[in-house]
């Protein structure tokens, strides 16, 4: 019969974990003078108040699962609606021909023009969706090259990105620099980081200015509007316009269907990062900066709405940008807080001077 083993102590080799082994040796030498052991692997989150702020947000979700039943349902519904419209148009044209020939021919010309315009609109939507799909593929390829450090894939990615941004005059200097320096860089990840700096830095600066301007407009309008429904409507309008303008800035050019697809990506990013319910955190930042005592209630509301718009704009930048943030610093909500509060305090000072 096998006998039960007695408890035994084993000494780990020093090369496995030198810090912990040296600490254990110190404890064995001085068993009565126990001191807390502090290693480099231990981080006290209570001593790091800005730890949560320093952690970057999760990556943008790139793939979304689509229901085949929903696609089948909407496809069949579209076919039925198209058949119904076709039969109704045919019946209308026949009735008009029975009354007068010129009415029938007028209906035929109108139907032909409507069909031609519909085909052009569908073509534009298909091209816009293809453009957005190209942005998503570039971003996925960029993340893959940063992880794999493949120089061949990096050169192909940089060439495709330069071609994609060829219509942007802001990227002309960066494209020339990449054409001159691209062959001198061996590492694939470093080549992508250099392309991000050279090609997207000017677009990022313009994007942050667009986000700040939209946040200022929202803070101003919601501070003077009398109804909460007006606030909600204007925030939605400004957020939609901001998403479209950011996508056009980065080369997306979304149509109607592309805009809804991009808006869904922005909402998915907000849900992943937990930024969709950030009203309390924004209020805490305002109170923490000592701004609550300087601003009126309406201006404080305006700043909160402006910061929410800035959050949406930052998520839209993530969704519309053709490369993930790697070497360029990811903009945060703190980049807009001081500008918005300065704008709000200046507005409040002007109002006081007018009423005095």
- Local confidence pLDDT in tens for the 356 residues of the chain: 445 556 655 554 444 444 444 444 444 444 444 444 443 343 333 343 433 344 444 444 445 556 788 888 888 998 999 899 889 988 999 999 998 889 889 999 999 999 999 999 999 989 888 888 899 999 999 999 999 888 899 899 999 999 999 888 888 988 888 888 767 778 888 889 999 999 999 999 999 999 999 988 888 888 777 777 887 888 889 989 999 999 999 988 787 888 888 888 888 777 765 544 444 455 555 544 445 444 556 666 777 788 888 888 998 998 899 999 988 888 888 778 777 777 767 766 666 676 66
Looking at the domain assignment, is residue 54 inside a domain? no
Q: What is the pLDDT of residues 178-208, one digit of tens each?
A: 888 767 778 888 889 999 999 999 999 999 9
Do 142 and 272 fall within a single domain?
A: yes
SS3 of the chain? CCCCCCCCCCCCCCCCCHHHHHHHHHHHHCCCCCCCCCCCCCCCHHHCCCHHHHCCCCCCCCCCCCCHHHHHHHHHHHHHHHHHHHHHHHHHHHHHHHHCHHHHHHHHHHHHHHHHHHHHHHHHHHHHHHHHHHHHHHHHHHHHHHHHCCHHHHHHHHHHHHHHCCCCHHHHHHHHHHHHHHHHCCCHHHHHHHHHHHHHHHHHHHHHHHHHHHHHHHHHHHHHCCCHHHHHHHHHHHHHHHHHHHHHHCCCCCCHHHHHHHHHHHHHHHHHHCCCCCHHHHHHHHHHCCCCCCCCHHHHHHHHHHHHHHHHHHHHHHHHCCCCCCCCCCCCCHHHHHHHHHHHHHHHHHHHHHHC
- Do residue 323 and residue 240 come from a single domain? yes
Q: Are residues 20 and 98 in the same domain?
A: no
Note whether residue 252 is domain-resident: yes
Both 235 and 190 in a single domain?
yes
- Full domain range(s) for residue 348: 76-355
Residues 16 and 157 in one domain: no
Is 61 contained in some domain? no
What's the total number of domains in the chain? 2
In terms of domains, do 186 and 315 share one?
yes
- Inside any domain, residue 1: no
């Amino acid at each position: 019969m096998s006998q039960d083993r007695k408890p035994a102590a084993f000494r780990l080799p020093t090369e496995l974990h030198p810090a912990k082994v040296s600490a254990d040796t110190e404890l064995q030498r001085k068993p009565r003078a126990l001191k807390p052991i502090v290693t480099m692997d231990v981080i006290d989150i209570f001593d790091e108040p800005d730890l949560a702020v320093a952690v970057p947000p999760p990556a943008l979700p790139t793939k979304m699962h689509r229901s085949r039943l929903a696609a089948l349902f909407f496809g069949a519904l579209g076919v039925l609606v198209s058949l119904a419209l076709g039969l109704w148009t045919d019946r209308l044209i026949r009735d008009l021909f029975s009354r007068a020939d010129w009415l029938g021919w007028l209906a035929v010309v109108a139907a032909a023009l409507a069909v031609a315009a519909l085909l052009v609109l569908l073509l534009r939507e298909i091209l816009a969706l293809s453009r957005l799909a190209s942005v998503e593929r570039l971003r996925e390829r960029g993340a893959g090259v940063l992880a794999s450090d493949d120089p061949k894939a990096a050169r192909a990615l940089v060439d495709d990105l330069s071609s994609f941004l060829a219509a942007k005059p802001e990227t002309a200097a960066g494209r020339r620099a990449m054409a001159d320096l691209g062959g001198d860089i061996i590492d694939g990840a470093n080549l992508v980081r250099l392309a991000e700096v050279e090609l997207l830095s000017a677009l990022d600066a313009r994007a942050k200015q667009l986000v700040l301007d939209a946040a200022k407009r929202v803070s101003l309008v919601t501070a003077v509007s009398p109804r909460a429904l007006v606030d909600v409507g204007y925030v939605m309008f400004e957020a939609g316009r901001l998403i479209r303008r950011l996508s056009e800035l980065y080369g997306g050019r979304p149509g109607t269907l592309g805009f809804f697809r991009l808006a869904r990506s922005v909402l998915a990013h907000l849900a992943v990062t937990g930024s969709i319910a950030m009203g309390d955190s924004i209020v805490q930042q305002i109170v923490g900066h000592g701004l609550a005592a300087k601003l009126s209630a309406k201006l404080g509301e305006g700043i909160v709405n402006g910061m929410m718009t800035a959050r949406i704009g930052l998520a839209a930048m993530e969704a519309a940008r053709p490369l993930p943030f790697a070497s360029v610093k990811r903009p945060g909500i703190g980049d807009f807080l001081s500008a918005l509060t300065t704008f709000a305090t200046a507005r409040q000072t002007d109002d006081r001077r007018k009423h005095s």
